[in-house]
Chains A and B, each alone.
Chain A
Amino acid sequence: MSDLLTDVLSGGVRGGTAIMLAALGETLAERAGVVNLGTEGCLLVGALTGYAVAAETGSPWAGLVAGALAGAALALVHAGLVIWRRADQFATGLTLMFFGLGITSLFGVAYVGKAAPGFAPVEIPLLSDVPVLGPVLFAHDPVTYLSYLVAPLMWWWLRRSRSGLLVRTAGERADVLHLHGYRAGLIRGGAVVAGGALAGLGGAQLSTAYAHAWFEGMTAGRGFIAVALVIFAAWRPLRVVAGAYLFGALLAVAPVLQARGHAVNQFAMDALPFVITLLILAVIGRRTLRAAPQELRRVFESSSSN
């Protein structure tokens, strides 16, 4: 039984990492007052670019950096359109998702089935021997280890640093920034682009450390899950981590049970992460909404009528 739990949880970390990185990126953008539904697109371009650069240079680390840059580039389009051109955030984000799907299949054909160096799991001595926690947390690839740092750093940075304060203010009271001579647009843009970089990193993790392959549309909705996750985590980086691992674990339940010969309804299992998110949102929605950045609430409460 505990073995089963260990497998579900370690699957949760494995499968949750890309979602977590994307959701942390989205958290950053939303803390600054911008929703990016194009996160799915950022994941996709990150996955392809990461894999392609790893294949061409022979270095998965180079792939990781390139994936982050690609995610940032797509997010820059989003930032430009919604901040500079004042386009609708939801529509622009969804369009970017389509665009990301198209552009990656256009340029990705050369990399389907092509071999590329990737990240292999590295067990951390001693720590990986700890019961349950060892296999769950310390028997993964280096990117996953790296990802452990992102949320605490973001939490600290948002809270304690001056630039973090600026980002939060851009999401809460943009007019205050203006009074003090800052340009809220630039700060928001920076947060969106940095968020896209994180999503791109998540995509690169997916292709170079998890699936070890590129295939068009391989993110399969994980970017949307990330967006929903941010709300249910009430825009807090540490809760995002918990939510992402929960999602990963839900995705892992079916194979864990099946590999032991148990019958599961595959379609019910597939719907489960989405159903559970909806339920959680229904239960805690009202409370989390109060935690939403002010500028974001404006986006959420009246969006289409521009």
Chain B
Amino acid sequence: MSVVFRMPRIAVFVAVAALVAACSANTAGSGDATGSGAPGKGAEAVGFIFVGPKDDYGYNQAAYEGSQAVASAYPDLEVLTAENVPEDDNAARIMNSMIAKGAKVIFATSYGHLDAALKVAAEHPDVAVVQQGNLITGTVPANAGTYFGTVYEPVYLAGIAAGKATKSDKLGYVYAFPINQTISNINAFQLGAASVNPKAKTYVVNTSSWCDPAKQAEAAANLIKQDVDVITQHQDCTATIIKATEAAGKYTVGYHADASSLAPKGWLTGSEWDWDKLYVDIVKTAIDGGFTGSKYNANYRVGFKTGENPFVQSAFGPSVAQPTKDAIATARTLLGTEQGSPFAGPLTDQDGKVRIPEGTVPDYAEIEKIDYFVSGVVGKLPK
């Protein structure tokens, strides 16, 4: 206790007063992105952020592979990638350091990166920021946009394969969290199965984690125990469930990536990402200076109806018979037409209430807002 420090309280108050006088509002994220130059024009670097590891054999790896397609399409372009980027303000920081390294086009590839992406877009009008999978509500800034495939379309087709393959009429779906995208997938899977097998039901189990292999193992074990004989999932890492399903002699419907090598016997089909063309086209649009006002400067959704869906159907496994393949091909063609949709009315929810009336075909934006399970899904959503 030798040093006596008499000043601090007064000093602190003075300092605080001075600082408060110099304060400004904390309005990050609400800025206006109209400024010099077209966003992304003449970019020499492009940045990609991923929420998980870029080698998860799932969602993030697919996005990473897309980034590498950009690298090979534009050899002079520097492609910056960052994995394990959390879905909070850290994401904004990392995007900013990419911009500091010269990136003028940024891909924020996880659903939860949207807020950070919009914040970064507001701070950098000259950078085009696109986000994968979420929706911008309200006005879309001139240098931002979201893009996605209509994931539920190939999932619906895979549901047909599952409905044909099941002998117990019980299908299993392991998911992480009840977000809308997942709900659409589960519904589409059930509707696809029911379209060829009215008795088919889909049992859902969640894991509260995008990748917790031990929980996945437990989920799969319990579904199998309940006589479920086709299992699919919406998880970021997929190997555990597929291996457990194969070991039990049941059928697998894949997600995110072709994992048929993990299930040589039970692999039916699946849905997987192929981002290459879409990523390259977004980068091209931005570099050429045409981002603002383009289809990517919006909530861009592409599906079988509107073009090339980046979410494609995986190859069939050995057990899938020709009639099943034919049924899928027919459905695929129908989905490409005006009246074709997994969610075409009449659509009833679990409680038997009609949600979409007969004769109505919801558009892509409406489908993304569905927040209930359709009839045939066993298991409840949290209210």
Contact with A along B186-222 (1 / 0, CB 8 A): 0000000000000000011110110111111111011
Could you say which of A11, A113, A263, A270 contacts B222, with CB atoms under 8 Å apart?
Answer: A11
Within 8 A of B (CB), among A238-282: 251-252, 254-256, 258-263, 265-267, 270
Q: Contact between A218 and B213 (Cβ–Cβ < 8 Å)? A: yes
- Say if the beta carbon of A124 comes within 8 Å of chain B: no
Give chain B residues whose Cβ lies under 8 Å from the Cβ of A211: 213-214, 216-217, 240
Could you say which of B53, B61, B239 contacts A216, with CB atoms under 8 Å apart?
Answer: B53
- Say if the beta carbon of A133 comes within 8 Å of chain B: no
Within 8 A of A (CB), among B100-117: none
Contact with A along B350-383 (1 / 0, CB 8 A): 0000000000000000000000000000111010
Given the interface contacts A15-B214, A213-B240, A261-B378, does A255 sit within 8 Å of B56 by beta carbon? Answer: no
- Say if the beta carbon of A5 comes within 8 Å of chain B: no
Q: Which of B27-35, B223-231, B274-282, B308-316 interfaces with chain A?
A: B223-231
- Say if the beta carbon of A120 comes within 8 Å of chain B: yes
Nearest residue, chain B, Cβ from A19: B214
- Say if the beta carbon of A7 comes within 8 Å of chain B: yes
Measured between C-beta atoms, what is the minimum distance from A302 to chain B in Å? 23
Q: Contact between A206 and B225 (Cβ–Cβ < 8 Å)? A: no
Q: Contact between A105 and B214 (Cβ–Cβ < 8 Å)? A: no
- Inter-chain CA distance A112–B54, complex, in Å, is 10
Measured between C-beta atoms, what is the minimum distance from A254 to chain B in Å? 8
Give chain A residues whose Cβ lies under 8 Å from the Cβ of B215: 220, 251, 255
Q: Contact between B213 and A215 (Cβ–Cβ < 8 Å)? A: yes
Q: Contact between A11 and B379 (Cβ–Cβ < 8 Å)? A: no
- Inter-chain CA distance A265–B208, complex, in Å, is 10
Nearest residue, chain A, Cβ from B259: A113
Given the interface contacts A112-B53, A115-B262, does A206 sit within 8 Å of B214 by beta carbon? Answer: yes
Given the interface contacts A14-B221, A216-B53, does A259 sit within 8 Å of B172 by beta carbon? Answer: yes
Nearest residue, chain A, Cβ from B170: A259
Contact with B along A217-245 (1 / 0, CB 8 A): 01010100000000000000000000000
Number of cross-chain contacts by CB at 8 Å: 110
- Inter-chain CA distance A212–B248, complex, in Å, is 14
- Inter-chain CA distance A260–B261, complex, in Å, is 30
Q: Contact between A113 and B380 (Cβ–Cβ < 8 Å)? A: no
Give chain B residues whose Cβ lies under 8 Å from the Cβ of A118: 243
Could you say which of A109, A222, A266 contacts B53, with CB atoms under 8 Å apart?
Answer: A109
Q: Contact between B55 and A256 (Cβ–Cβ < 8 Å)? A: no
Q: Contact between B214 and A112 (Cβ–Cβ < 8 Å)? A: no
- Say if the beta carbon of B247 comes within 8 Å of chain A: yes
Given the interface contacts A213-B240, A259-B172, does A115 sit within 8 Å of B226 by beta carbon? Answer: no
Q: Contact between B225 and A215 (Cβ–Cβ < 8 Å)? A: no
Give chain B residues whose Cβ lies under 8 Å from the Cβ of A263: 379-380, 382
Given the interface contacts A14-B218, A255-B222, A266-B382, does A215 sit within 8 Å of B206 by beta carbon? Answer: no
Could you say which of B204, B212, B218, B382 contacts A11, with CB atoms under 8 Å apart?
Answer: B218
Within 8 A of A (CB), among B223-254: 223, 225-226, 228, 237, 239-240, 243-244, 247
- Say if the beta carbon of B57 comes within 8 Å of chain A: yes
Q: Contact between A267 and B261 (Cβ–Cβ < 8 Å)? A: no
Number of A interface residues at 8 Å Cβ cutoff, please give it. 38
- Inter-chain CA distance A118–B226, complex, in Å, is 24
Measured between C-beta atoms, what is the minimum distance from B257 to chain A in Å? 8
- Say if the beta carbon of A138 comes within 8 Å of chain B: no
Measured between C-beta atoms, what is the minimum distance from A109 to chain B in Å? 6
Measured between C-beta atoms, what is the minimum distance from B209 to chain A in Å? 7
Q: Contact between B203 and A259 (Cβ–Cβ < 8 Å)? A: yes
Could you say which of A212, A216, A218, A265 contacts B382, with CB atoms under 8 Å apart?
Answer: A265
Give chain B residues whose Cβ lies under 8 Å from the Cβ of A215: 56, 211, 213, 237
Give chain B residues whose Cβ lies under 8 Å from the Cβ of A259: 172, 203, 205, 219, 222-223, 225-226, 228
Measured between C-beta atoms, what is the minimum distance from B241 to chain A in Å? 9
- Inter-chain CA distance A260–B55, complex, in Å, is 34
Given the interface contacts A113-B239, A212-B244, does A255 sit within 8 Å of B205 by beta carbon? Answer: yes
Nearest residue, chain B, Cβ from A18: B214
Give chain B residues whose Cβ lies under 8 Å from the Cβ of A254: 205-206
Q: Contact between B218 and A213 (Cβ–Cβ < 8 Å)? A: no
Q: Contact between A213 and B208 (Cβ–Cβ < 8 Å)? A: no
Measured between C-beta atoms, what is the minimum distance from A207 to chain B in Å? 8
Could you say which of B206, B218, B225 contacts A15, with CB atoms under 8 Å apart?
Answer: B218
Could you say which of B218, B243, B261, B378 contacts A255, with CB atoms under 8 Å apart?
Answer: B218
Q: Contact between A260 and B226 (Cβ–Cβ < 8 Å)? A: yes
Q: Contact between A252 and B218 (Cβ–Cβ < 8 Å)? A: yes
Give chain A residues whose Cβ lies under 8 Å from the Cβ of B206: 254, 258, 266
- Inter-chain CA distance A122–B309, complex, in Å, is 44
Q: Contact between B379 and A112 (Cβ–Cβ < 8 Å)? A: no
Give chain A residues whose Cβ lies under 8 Å from the Cβ of B379: 258, 261-263
Could you say which of A113, A115, A120, A261 contacts B247, with CB atoms under 8 Å apart?
Answer: A120
Q: Contact between A112 and B243 (Cβ–Cβ < 8 Å)? A: no
Give chain B residues whose Cβ lies under 8 Å from the Cβ of A15: 214, 218
Give chain B residues whose Cβ lies under 8 Å from the Cβ of A222: 214
Ordered by A's residue number, 29 sampled pairs between the chains whose C-beta atoms are within 8 Å are: A11-B222, A15-B218, A109-B53, A112-B55, A112-B56, A112-B237, A113-B57, A120-B247, A207-B213, A210-B213, A210-B214, A210-B217, A211-B214, A211-B216, A212-B244, A213-B213, A216-B53, A218-B214, A220-B214, A255-B221, A255-B222, A258-B205, A258-B222, A259-B223, A259-B225, A259-B228, A261-B378, A263-B380, A266-B208
9 closest Cβ pairs, A-B complex: A113-B57, A211-B213, A263-B380, A259-B222, A261-B378, A258-B205, A255-B222, A213-B239, A212-B243
Q: A210-B214, A258-B379 are in contact. List 20 more A-B contacts (CB 8 A).
A: A11-B218, A11-B222, A15-B214, A18-B214, A109-B55, A112-B237, A113-B57, A206-B214, A211-B213, A212-B244, A213-B243, A215-B237, A251-B215, A251-B218, A255-B219, A255-B222, A258-B222, A259-B203, A259-B222, A266-B208
The chain A residues found within 8 Å of chain B, CB to CB, are 7, 11, 14-15, 18, 105, 109, 112-113, 115, 118, 120, 206-207, 210-213, 215-216, 218, 220, 222, 251-252, 254-256, 258-263, 265-267, 270
